Structure 1
Amino acid sequence: MHERTLCQLFADILAIPEAGPEDGFFALGGDSILSIQLVSRARQEGLLLTPRQIFQHQTPAALTTAATHIPTTTPARHENGTGTLPATPIMRDLFERGGPFTTYHQSVLLTVPANLDPQRLATALQTVIDHHDILRLTLNSAEDGGELRIPPPGSINAANLLHHADLTDHPDIPTAITEHQTTAQTRLDPAHGIMLQAVHLTLGPTTPGRLLLLAHHLVIDAVSWRILTPDLTHAYHHPTPNDPPLEPVPTSYRTWAHYLTQQAHHPTHTTTLHHWTHTLQPHPHTTPHPTPTPIPTSQLHHHTTTLPPEHTQPLLTTTPTTYHAGINDILLTALTLALTHTNNTNPHDGILINLESHGRHEPTPHLDLTRTIGWFTTLHPTRLHPGPATWHDITHTTPHLGTAIKTIKETLHTTPHHGTSYGLLRHLNPTTQPHLTHLPNPHHLQLPRPLHPHHTHTNPNHTPNRNPNRNHHPTLAPRTRNHPPQRQHRPPPTPPHPPRNQRPHPRHPHGPQLTTTFTYNPHHHTTHHITQLAHHWHTALKALTTHTQHHTGGHTPPTSPSSPSPNTTSTTSRAISRPSGRTWRSDSRSGPGRHAPAPYGRSSPRATTGPMWSSARCVIRWS
């Protein structure tokens, strides 16, 4: 019985027609973020799993043996997360950047029925804010690492956060929505606990309306939208005390923040200090570059380029398969070679970049984060070397390219603790912090969440059912067409799995595309330099995909073909990857001035004013 349940959960979460007992979760297109969803859904069915077990026992048959049965009638514990809490490493990173960040937010846009009840919506919003303590976070001060507290439920009146506007006769609805988002972000006020805004937009008595949700980035990330939006849907449809309540939150964000502070002093992490200082230490023969003056987010420049389907398709299929590598291993190999060539640097020095992860890697069996909303993102530096490969190997597609892929892959798989140790030692440990603060600040890189080959096409008419209780409620339904132009930096959408033996419906007529956006400080990088980098990036990708058609790959010690990369990232949020919702299908937005978002996509946060940036940033996504 449990095996059948897990097969059904696999199919539901991965949006595929069916899953067999011996089908691997990751082979079907799952990733580390989706494994968190699987843990949560399994608990509702009376099966206790951990993300680690899903990595170790990847099929329904194996997980049935590993899972612990718990009676569904056993009440789960809901942890009270009120009180003071320390700022997490990612929060401190934001505070250190300087500049205003009051409007620094993420947002989603949902389709709602024309007859949506405003009072019932306000009640549902109140229920969610009272249930998820982090949504009431108050930032008393951003100085000296930050001073934060979470007041008790009821301290924030949701009715004051909900606004309404009638756009029935508006001549330009997309522009109007953007204007309302711009206005809504100015109402965010972390100092007074105003971390959320909701704007209900009506479009006529029979036309479905829109619900715009904004959350300050201090309280939200890619995975969190997958929790918040289904909970809001559930609360709207179950408004009375006799209705089923929201699923408990076993571990509060406050507990998580205190846990990180404790871990920052644990030998498990302090012993990795040498790894991080060695990673960040400049090469003795490298000429140091002057640190550019940070500028506001709004003054950054952007350059976007797209790799055509004939070269993107192999990146999703044959190239990583040949080397038993993840897609991110291939992307980082190409980027390493492109940066080395563009900057005319010594390949033996390597390139130094910041990688981003969702940060919910299983910390301990006693902390269950599958229902916790908050900003969990982690950043860590990595120095990548292409081995013996040079640009000559790119232009001549020599066997050295295969060695470069293996070298990059091994570097990524030997990163300690998924990179989480770096943030702990850099921001939360006064003893280790001085050893890291004076070292170089790497460029920032967001990678797309890996897609399985079957997940390379989107059926625009498919709307998966992802309500926690498996009952589809059309009230917060998907919006399937794009909204006003916005500059979008987000991880790729995860489309539904096509039925077996059926031709998929491509999002693009000729197949998937890889889109890369380079965001840079114009005082530090010229447009010509970034354009060259983008050109070399595509050249390297094409060479790697061509190489695998003529050469065989192989295994390297850290990995095996059945094991996903432990550093696989996802999100939505910034990425190295950031979120995409499964319970709802929506557009993701994050501040004005971005390109049109796509279904399931989540973008990096933006705002009219925002934190200061000095280095370049590269965001990669599938479409």
Structure 2
Amino acid sequence: GKVDRRALPAPDTSRPELAGGLVAARTPIEEVLAGIWADTLGLEQVGIHDNFFELGGDSILSIQIVARANQAGLNLTPKQLFGHQTIAELTLVAGINSVLQAEQGLVTGEVVLTPIQRWFFEQEFAEPHYWNQAMLLEVPPALDIVLLSQLVQQLLVHHDALRLRFLRSASGWQQVNALPDEAVPCTRVDLSLLSETEQEPAIEATAAKLQASLNLSKGPLVRVALFDLGRNQPSRLLFVIHHLVVDGVSWRILLEDLQTGYQQLSCGLAMKLPPKTTSFQGWAQRLSEYAQSTMLGQELDYWLAESRFWVAPLPRDYPQGKDANTVASARNVAVSLSSLETRALLQEVPQAYNTQINDVLLTALAQVFVQWLGTRYVLVDLEGHGREEILPGVDLSRTVGWFTTLFPVLLELRETDPPGLALKSVKEQLRGIPNRGIGYGLLRYLKEDAAITEKLRRLPQAEVSFNYLGQFDQVLSPDLMFQIAKESSGPEHSRLGSRRHLLEVNALVAGGQLQLDWTYSSNLHQQATIESLAQGFLTALRSLIAHCQSPEAGGYTPSDFPLTQMSQDALDTAFTSIEFEEG
């Protein structure tokens, strides 16, 4: 749903209460990292012994930190940040890696289709050109259309994936990186003579037309429109980009470049963006090569485990066929946590069991579905940002494209499991996924082994998907020129299309609050059913938060000690013995 950020309280920027006191930076490198962490996490100050995840960090924020550190002359990777979770530890490895040299010129030519792109074309949507992501921004009334056009042109030059084209042939779909077009896909729409009540529907009608106007083969797969609402009224800026060439992390990069680039141009300066990182073309080619490796083949047993067949279908209120799950019938139920609850989720909960936010959100999701299904197995298609460190010499921290991974996660949980046990169990199941799930798509779509592809295709398919999109308060903070607008950016998918999942759960943090959208088909489920699930999810989440804040909460799991290979029972026994001896 559309979040009215102005109606939400300002995010709390104070440092959370951690186990240790604040220790300020002592060296120039620590000072640089502390500044980057504070800025990215939206905090006033950060100590060198503060844990990244206990400050509210997540995997998407780690990519932003890496990008900013690299721009400051420090070489870091997300994997290093996950392995060295304080600034003091991170400083010891910063700058050790050699600088990666990425192509800085125009990238053109054929590009291998990635697994998520192959998944897209496998769906055979009725109108594949109409499957976008969009953002409608509120901008100052004096925004210059000439400068904006220059900016858009430079973004298309700099971010090569925005110039991708998709061609269908007898052998299937292909993608090609084209040269920049002479025409810039940027228009000005004058609505200044309309009344305020007339302007909103006019914006949404124009946005709907632009959403349907993309052409996969001719391109460009970007549309930009500046809506003039009058001299004293903030304008609106619409960006529509086909999902084949953009994802959630890419939007953060583009919004940052939009802000930086416009400020440079408006001051009469040449537009200068940070250096390019590994191209989408290069990444796709390396993925294709990695897909044939014996290392990837070792993951196959995990993805073909027999337990994956022990799943029950989701209950339906209306016994319609598969064709009933249409985009036209999609409805949405939106729920949220309070600012206080969200702060606890991000900054207090991780301290109890060394968890990350996806561990907690998926535990609550599993608890709700286990109760609904009456079984202890829940199959979920999990979306990840996909920028995984599986290949040496690759840096994707500032690369635009569709990198998303989509992979089935089988969660096992008993309805009677207490909160702490449930959280530790789901945490370990998620840590057991090889390389954060990227291998599933590689095996299914790029392995070039028909037998493996067929085995994976015949597995039970998840009917629910889950995607945590991360935190957006630092990307669109109140002091920036661009803010999220209250109006709709138009329908992003063709109403003629079909939906892959019966339920889609999308979560993000905006305005200091965790927002959750539950999307379903009114042909298959009643609104009351989905509202009950969404409220049940919040109840489960609040229970997990309360437990992690309680004195009896806390403990470790085997993934916290990867070199020991101990079971959970053995680990619990060992720590009980230590506590007994100390007591």
TM-score range, shorter chain: 0.7 to 0.9
Cross-structure match for 1:192: 218
Which of the residues 189, 212, 225 maps onto 1:165?
189
For residue 9 of structure 1, report the CA deviation from its aligned partner.
1.9
Cross-structure match for 1:615: none
The code of the aligned residue for 1:478 comes to: F
SS of alignment partner, residue 492 of structure 1: strand
Query: 1:69-121: per-residue Cα shift (whole Å, max 9, x none)?
Result: 8999x997515421111211111111112222312111222333333332222
Q: Mean Cα displacement is larger for which, 181-190 or 486-495?
A: 486-495
| Alignment partner of 1:30 is 2:57 | yes
Cross-structure match for 1:483: 487
Query: Would you say the 8 A contact 2:379–2:462 is kept in 1?
Result: yes
Query: 1:232-277: per-residue Cα shift (whole Å, max 9, x none)?
Result: 3444444599836332323111111111111211122111111111
Cross-structure match for 1:492: 508
Query: Would you say the 8 A contact 1:281–1:439 is kept in 2?
Result: yes
Cross-structure match for 2:530: 530
SS of alignment partner, residue 409 of structure 2: strand
| C-alpha RMSD of the superposition | 3.5
Task: Give the structure with the higher percent helix.
Answer: 2
* Aligned sequence identity (%): 33
For residue 366 of structure 1, report the CA deviation from its aligned partner.
0.6
Query: Would you say the 8 A contact 1:46–1:70 is kept in 2?
Result: no
Alignment map for 1:379-528 (pairs within 5 Å)? 379-386=406-413, 389-390=414-415, 393=416, 400-431=418-449, 432-448=452-468, 463=478, 477-479=481-483, 482-484=486-488, 490-493=506-509, 512=513, 514-527=514-527
Cross-structure match for 1:265: 292
| Alignment partner of 1:85 is 2:111 | yes
Query: Would you say the 8 A contact 2:132–2:242 is kept in 1?
Result: yes
Cross-structure match for 2:369: 339
Query: Would you say the 8 A contact 1:328–1:447 is kept in 2?
Result: no
Cross-structure match for 2:354: 324
Query: 1:523-581: per-residue Cα shift (whole Å, max 9, x none)?
Result: 444545434434543443454455554743421111379xxxxxxxxxxxxxxxxxxxx
For residue 306 of structure 1, report the CA deviation from its aligned partner.
4.5
Cross-structure match for 2:200: 174
Cross-structure match for 1:559: 560
Query: Would you say the 8 A contact 2:138–2:482 is kept in 1?
Result: yes
Cross-structure match for 1:504: none
Cross-structure match for 2:248: 222
Query: 1:207-228: per-residue Cα shift (whole Å, max 9, x none)?
Result: 3322211111111111111222
Cross-structure match for 2:301: 274
The code of the aligned residue for 2:207 comes to: Q
Which of the residues 269, 279, 297 maps onto 1:252?
279
The code of the aligned residue for 1:165 comes to: V
Query: 1:184-232: per-residue Cα shift (whole Å, max 9, x none)?
Result: 1122111212200010111223433222111111111111112223323
The code of the aligned residue for 1:211 comes to: L
For residue 416 of structure 1, report the CA deviation from its aligned partner.
0.5
SS of alignment partner, residue 362 of structure 2: helix
Cross-structure match for 2:178: 151
Q: Tell me, in whole angstroms, the C-alpha distance in 1 between the residues paired with 2:460 and 2:98.
A: 52
Q: 1:279 to 1:515 in 2, by over 3 A?
A: farther
Q: 1:546 to 1:439 in 2, by over 3 A?
A: same
Q: 1:207 to 1:537 in 2, by over 3 A?
A: closer
Q: Mean Cα displacement is larger for which, 483-492 or 320-329?
A: 483-492
Query: Would you say the 8 A contact 1:125–1:158 is kept in 2?
Result: no
Q: Tell me, in whole angstroms, the C-alpha distance in 2 between the residues paired with 1:309 and 1:243.
A: 41
| Alignment partner of 1:10 is 2:52 | no
Q: 1:355 to 1:288 in 2, by over 3 A?
A: closer
Alignment map for 1:567-586 (pairs within 5 Å)? none
Q: 1:7 to 1:537 in 2, by over 3 A?
A: closer
Q: Tell me, in whole angstroms, the C-alpha distance in 1 between the residues paired with 2:112 and 2:142.
A: 43
Alignment length, in residue pairs? 512
Which of the residues 137, 140, 144 maps onto 2:167?
140
Q: Tell me, in whole angstroms, the C-alpha distance in 1 between the residues paired with 2:537 and 2:275.
A: 46
Q: Tell me, in whole angstroms, the C-alpha distance in 2 between the residues paired with 1:287 and 1:460.
A: 38
Q: 1:405 to 1:435 in 2, by over 3 A?
A: same
Q: Tell me, in whole angstroms, the C-alpha distance in 2 between the residues paired with 1:206 and 1:287.
A: 55
Query: Would you say the 8 A contact 1:410–1:558 is kept in 2?
Result: yes
Q: TM-score, structure 1 length as denominator?
A: 0.73
SS of alignment partner, residue 482 of structure 1: coil
Q: Tell me, in whole angstroms, the C-alpha distance in 2 between the residues paired with 1:175 and 1:250.
A: 40
Query: Would you say the 8 A contact 1:46–1:69 is kept in 2?
Result: no
For residue 149 of structure 1, report the CA deviation from its aligned partner.
0.6
Q: TM-score, structure 2 length as denominator?
A: 0.78
Query: 1:145-188: per-residue Cα shift (whole Å, max 9, x none)?
Result: 52111112x3x2343x1111112232223222212211111221
Q: 1:214 to 1:480 in 2, by over 3 A?
A: closer
